[in-house]
Chains A and B, each alone.
Chain A
Amino acid sequence: MNLDLRTNAQLQIKIYRNIKNVKNLKQKLISGELKCCMIKPSLIYDPFQIAVAANKALASAKLITKTIFSEILFNLSVSKHITRSLQTFGIDDNDENILVVTISQNGEDNSESVYSQIDGEEVELSQLKNLSDLDNIKNVYKISEKESLTIPLIDSIVSRIATKDFLSH
């Protein structure tokens, strides 16, 4: 998917299940060897949620966190607390399913080198709906019953992401 034209960037999102080497992947994420963002699918309702968070990261002049990938995790969260945000949306050692987000920019794309290190099975992105945990999502984004009754969940989520830097949610 194309992000804001000014960023010259595209986003790729894939889902993997039954991952055998999460611990190893996590280490490589921390060391910076893996140039991607790995997210808990249970907290993602729709890929568009990631698009809005990634676009915000790429469109902003300066990053709050260290890398563009941690910035995506941070933007996904409505908390202004960096460590807590990365913990909430990032993967744990005992996660079996993960969303992998890579960015190609100015024609440069290294997503294949990321995918080759994942020991697990890729499934269709449409499988996401079986992995998202709606109650937990509403909880994390502080969406009340009243709101979710009439407002499409994705609208509530992306509008909070878009305003997290200047509103408290």
Chain B
Amino acid sequence: MAEGSVPAVWRRYPQRYRLVGSKCETCGEFFFPPRIICPNCRRKGKVVEYQFSGRGVVESYTVVHTPPADMEDQAPYVLAIVRLEEGPMLTAQIVDVDPREVKIGMPVRMVFRRISEDGEDGLINYGYKFAPL
């Protein structure tokens, strides 16, 4: 992401703040982040907005000890791939848990948190993290 770009952050609010994705009513597949066109059905697909439940399970996880510069205050943190109960997977931090307790298959739910800070005067980015259910 271009550092400090307001529009680049603003246009992702619905997805990052509320887990708004999309769904193809023709084949039933869910998309997060949302797709405008269904890759299965293409022109025959009917894609509509969909509010994900925010529940999922941990598919894999790691504890990050060497973070990017804008997340140095958070390390070490747990980063995971979460499979949402509707199907799609995403990458997010797991919080409110002892890192040693995180396991593959652990049920989690979305929480709204501060993600990163672009230095003293920069943007503060918010979005989803996940916590034990």
Q: Specify whether A and B are partners.
A: no
Interface residues of B (CB under 8 A from A): none
Interface residues of A (CB under 8 A from B): none
